[in-house]
Structure 1
Amino acid sequence: MNLVIQPGMTYYRISNLFNIPLQQLINANPYTDPNMLRIGQVVNIPHYDVQEYQIQQGDTLWIISQRFQIPIERILAANPVDPYQLRVGDGILLPIRIDEAVLSFDQPYTFSKLEEDLFLLVNTFPLITLREIGRSVMNKPIYEVSIGEGDKHVHINGSFHANESITTSVIMRFLHDYLVSLSSNEPIRGVDMNTFYNEVTLSLVPMVNPDGVDLLNEGLPEEEEFRDLVLTINNQSTNFNNWKANIRGVDLNNQYPANWEIESNRKRQQPAPRDYPGPSPLSEPEAIAMANLVEEKDFDRVLAFHTQGEVIYWGYEGLEPPEAQTIVEEYSRVSGYVPIRYVDSHAGFKDWFIQEYRRPGYTVELGRGTNPLPFSQFNEIYEESLGIFLSNLTV
């Protein structure tokens, strides 16, 4: 919610009045100098929404405060009104703390739905940062969400593969539950999310491959150029359940310069629904955007969410650091997923990260079955993966 600064207001006073950690309040207003608040200036108050209320006969601020369980001081902060001059019919704003769901998760994400939900979250919870890190082949933004201020920098992404978009839902559900937990001061599985916020800086890219996800979940694109292209690649079939690639038939998780030549020689040699590594490493804008993000942010660890198998791949060519095993054992304990150190595969996102940075990288294969996994598995998969999200605080 927006708050108009009144005489005597400071960030410290606002923090106490609205029961918000001071640093979260400051982070929600990145372009405001906390030491230079001016009367009439507007600041964002995270974790709150406003409800309009019309003054009724007999109302006083005390009566309204008791009816809605809102401290009078908080009502006055949101409404620079004279408490002794309330008039029937006048409207005031009631600051309501957000303590329940803002989003629903009852269907797979499309890009437009993802964008809509991300915009809603950043407007409702202004302490998160949303930015565009690149664009897809079809010019759709690839979004990164950042939250937290800890020294531990963790990155998680989903939907590298088109027919694995349930991973986007899992990431968005965690982000949503995390924000509501911060707002309501209710822990998640006993984990205080304010502590998580203070100790972990989290980077999320919920949908690496928006064009591919929309092909699966919405069907053929409207643009004739891309309609013709995907039909040619897919042998004129409109069944895209087997489609993992981006819109021009390149497997984005075979795009990284970690023995890319091995995958190039033994996999498909032309655009295909799956398993074509592309004409060269990092030929695709989506893969480039992710590589640039990693190089910019210098993450301590990365997790790429895929489906399926309920396993966690965590090694590459013996280059992973010793702590990678400790971390994956905790991930395994809280999820029930089986850790697998080595597999005959190269050129993946986590392979490249381990090779280039010698830091822990993980490919987490959520759920079981045949891709695309039925959305009826979503709640079960989310509960399995929730422990992995939360354990990034402790390991």
Structure 2
Amino acid sequence: MNSQIVRTDVPYDYQTMVSDLEALKSAYPIIQSNIIGISVLGKEIYTLSIGIGQRQVYYNGCHHANEWITAPLLMQFAESYAQAYQTGTTILGWDIRYLFNHTTIWLTPMVNPDGVDLVIHGIDTSNPFYEQVLRWNNYSTNFSNWKANIRGVDLNHQYNAHWYEQKSRGPVGPGPANYSGSAPESEPESRAVADFTRYHNPNLIIAYHSQGRVIYWGYRGLEPPESQAIATYFSTLSGYTPIRYAGTDAGYKDWFIQDWRRPGFTIEVGMGINPLPTSQLPQIYRENLGTMLHGASLT
């Protein structure tokens, strides 16, 4: 399906996402939204929900600022899913009305809105972190390598899964990438995702990142037996390479596997240098559509 509401040909900043979300909710009342937290700079972190089923799956994107292409990926999925439900059509053979009744899909397209806007728009003197951010970025105004939130904390190194070990391997202070912060969930964005997960207790999660076209599916041998078969099928659907271990700790997928012992995946979409160009989005969407549907269809 070609997106009719979600913009897929522009740098996808926070305001674009909010505007698209309001338009989607107006066009498709089955899409609901919740605010699960507030970013450092006061931006509301939105999570969409579609479905009424007992089974719960949770997909998120943009833990890393320069990986913002994962936000329109999830937003376009919401639009396709809602349109198929409304028209009574299938997607890739999946019966969307059946899935709607059996599974609740939760989507957080933009975990890190402050960081995304920094990468896309840069920074000006009105930002309370102006001087620190410039210093952390070696006084460059090019933020294309920035993964962190506005406080220079890498949100995907923020979860309580061997956090101290990950912190010991990374930078000692804030910067564009890899600083784990002062404590697990020290940042409001990662804490919002963790609190949401604890409350909703999902059966399966996918954290979308870019790039590499790989699927990480294990963590320290704690993943359940079914994870490998799911990852293998995700690979068949997407063409991505399944890899058991990423070799890092304190990521969202790591923490979910460790504490829930349920299937959790980090999927790296696209190929190239972040931020990936929007010209890759149609292919990324085609590659991941079946994966998102299959994740929702499992019982």
Structure 1 length as normaliser, TM-score? 0.73
Give identity over the alignment, percent.
47
What's the offset of the Cα at 1:341?
Answer: 0.8
Aligned equivalent of 1:326: 229
What's the offset of the Cα at 1:344?
Answer: 1.7
- Residue-pair matches, total: 297
Aligned equivalent of 1:304: 207
Write out per-residue CA displacement over residues 118-158 of structure 1, whole angstroms, 9 at most, x where no aligned residue: 11111222222211000000010000111101232100000
Aligned equivalent of 1:3: none
AA aligned opposite 2:250? A
AA aligned opposite 2:135? T
Give the direction of change, closer, same or farther, for the CA distance of 1:118–1:100 in structure 2 (3 Å limit).
Answer: closer
Give the direction of change, closer, same or farther, for the CA distance of 1:259–1:215 in structure 2 (3 Å limit).
Answer: same
Aligned equivalent of 1:173: 76
Aligned equivalent of 2:269: 366
Distance 1:230 1:285 in 2: 18
Matches for 1:10-89 after TM superposition, within 5 Å: none
Distance 1:152 1:326 in 2: 19
Matches for 1:228-307 after TM superposition, within 5 Å: 228-307=131-210
The 8 Å contact of residues 168 and 206 in structure 1, kept in 2 or not, is answered as yes
> Is 1:349 matched with 2:252?
yes
Structure 1 vs Structure 2 CA RMSD = 1.4
Of 36, 39, 42, the match for 1:139: 42
Does the residue aligned with 1:104 lie in a helix, a strand or coil?
coil
The 8 Å contact of residues 133 and 151 in structure 2, kept in 1 or not, is answered as yes
Give the direction of change, closer, same or farther, for the CA distance of 1:103–1:281 in structure 2 (3 Å limit).
Answer: closer
The 4+ residue runs of structure 1 with deviation greater than 4 A are none
What's the offset of the Cα at 1:225?
Answer: 1.8
Distance 1:115 1:367 in 2: 24
Distance 1:128 1:279 in 2: 36
Of 108, 115, 118, the match for 1:205: 108
What's the offset of the Cα at 1:288?
Answer: 0.4
Name the larger-Rg structure: 1
Structure 2 length as normaliser, TM-score? 0.96
Q: Can you give the 5+ residue segments of structure 1 that lack an aligned partner in the other structure? A: 1-98
Write out per-residue CA displacement over residues 6-44 of structure 1, whole angstroms, 9 at most, x where no aligned residue: xxxxxxxxxxxxxxxxxxxxxxxxxxxxxxxxxxxxxxx
By relative contact order (CA 8 Å, sep 6+), the higher-ranking structure is 2
Distance 1:342 1:210 in 2: 28
Distance 1:306 1:362 in 2: 10
Write out per-residue CA displacement over residues 324-348 of structure 1, whole angstroms, 9 at most, x where no aligned residue: 1121111111001111112321000
What's the offset of the Cα at 1:353?
Answer: 0.5
Does the residue aligned with 2:129 lie in a helix, a strand or coil?
helix
The 8 Å contact of residues 100 and 180 in structure 1, kept in 2 or not, is answered as no
Q: Can you give the 5+ residue segments of structure 2 that lack an aligned partner in the other structure? A: none
Distance 1:133 1:361 in 2: 20
What's the offset of the Cα at 1:222?
Answer: 5.4
Distance 1:321 1:148 in 2: 26
